[in-house]
Amino acid sequence: MSSGSNPMQVRADRPEIRLRRSANDRRLRFGFARTARAPYSCASTLRVTILGSGTAVPVAGRFPSGVLVQGGGQTVLVDLGPGVLRRLAETGVGLEAVDAVLLTHFHTDHCADLAALLFGLRNPRYAGRPPLRLIGAAGLRELLGHLTAAWPWLQPRDYTLSIEEIAPGPLRLGTLRVAAIPIRHTAQSLGYRITAAGGAVAAFSGDADECDELVELARDADLFVCDCAFPNEHRTEGHLTPALAGAAAARAEVKTLCLTHFYPECDGYDLTAQARACFGGEIVEAADLLTFDLRRE
């Protein structure tokens, strides 16, 4: 990651930037904000906040995987890596507001905070909160069974927990339309494509290797948050490089590509330039608490 393209630095000087882009009669508005503003209740738009842009290897300043999606009357977490709940607190969104968690897969850097979430929700302050939906591929129920066997105090108390093992296909979260699409990484891996009532689309690859399903996932998306675990020089099985992420974004004709999930091997490389060789749209390198507001007009 080159220092010149680090959004953290951009944000430090200019706490909020709003740009307008026009393409195919669709306009995308997005901004960078140090802290997401809560509550967020616009039904027709999507707010996407990166909670964790890091990985299983701890580094300062980047928590493991997690994204906050707000829209359609819903507050949704896509993945829940260790520590991500702390980042959520930094956005001003409390646990009482979370309606659903979508898990892309069961690697620990994407779901370890499930235990912290379930234990936290037993605090009396959350008694009577709305039902919580935990959504993921087959295996989710077994994972929760093991966690609860180890820690009986994860059982829900004074709220309803719904565990939903899903196959690839559509589902609804409030007025949000979600498509779960199988992605090459683990046998259970799913990417999620989320469409707001107003038409804005955000797509999340989770961890991913090269596959045609990435293009299906991100087709015409306003924002594609995509695995970019290693630079082109360190191509690693099961993950994407900037060039591969850029190629998928180009095929899908997305508006903005947000590269994320940076292993330390990325340090010192200009990931944006590597992706730029394959993709002509907007490219942003993720940073924790980076926020995008997506709206189609």
Piece in contact with Zn ion (CB under 5 A), picked from 107-115, 135-143, 154-162, 288-296: 107-115
Query: Closest CB to Zn ion among 13 and 237?
Result: 237
Closest-CA residue to 286 (of 224, 193, 219)? 224
Rounded to a whole number of angstroms, the minimum distance from the CB of residue 135 to Zn ion is 17
Rounded to a whole number of angstroms, the minimum distance from the CB of residue 263 to Zn ion is 9
Restricted to residues 51-70, the positions that interact with Zn ion (CB under 5 A) are none
Query: Closest CB to Zn ion among 1 and 208?
Result: 208
Rounded to a whole number of angstroms, the minimum distance from the CB of residue 207 to Zn ion is 4
Query: Closest CB to Zn ion among 82 and 246?
Result: 82
Among 99, 109, 209, 213, binds Zn ion (CB under 5 A): 109
Q: Can you tell me whether residue 213 is helix, strand or coil? A: helix
166 Cβ partners below 8 Å, 6+ apart? 135, 136, 137, 180, 190
Among 207, 213, 285, 293, binds Zn ion (CB under 5 A): 207
Piece in contact with Zn ion (CB under 5 A), picked from 4-12, 30-38, 102-110, 137-145: 102-110
Among 11, 62, 87, 107, binds Zn ion (CB under 5 A): 107
How many other β-carbons are positioned within 10 Å of the β-carbon of residue 167? Answer: 9
Piece in contact with Zn ion (CB under 5 A), picked from 25-33, 38-46, 205-213, 249-257: 205-213
Each residue 143-182 as x (binds Zn ion by CB under 5 A) or -, in order, gives: ----------------------------------------
Token pair recorded at residue 297: 């007009």
Closest-CA residue to 117 (of 19, 93, 62)? 93
Rounded to a whole number of angstroms, the minimum distance from the CB of residue 205 to Zn ion is 11
Distances from the Cα of 54 to the Cα of 8, 57, 90, 230, 277, angstroms: 14, 8, 17, 12, 24
CA–CA gap between residue 200 and residue 156 (Å, rounded): 34
Q: Can you tell me whether residue 185 is helix, strand or coil? A: coil
Piece in contact with Zn ion (CB under 5 A), picked from 104-112, 113-121, 245-253, 276-284: 104-112
Counting contacts by CB under 5 A, is residue 113 touching Zn ion?
Answer: no
| Residue 246 and residue 218 in contact, taking contact as beta carbons nearer than 8 Å | no
CA–CA gap between residue 142 and residue 96 (Å, rounded): 25
Piece in contact with Zn ion (CB under 5 A), picked from 11-19, 103-111, 127-135, 270-278: 103-111
Closest-CA residue to 292 (of 197, 239, 216, 221)? 221
Binding site for Zn ion (CB under 5 A): 107, 109, 207
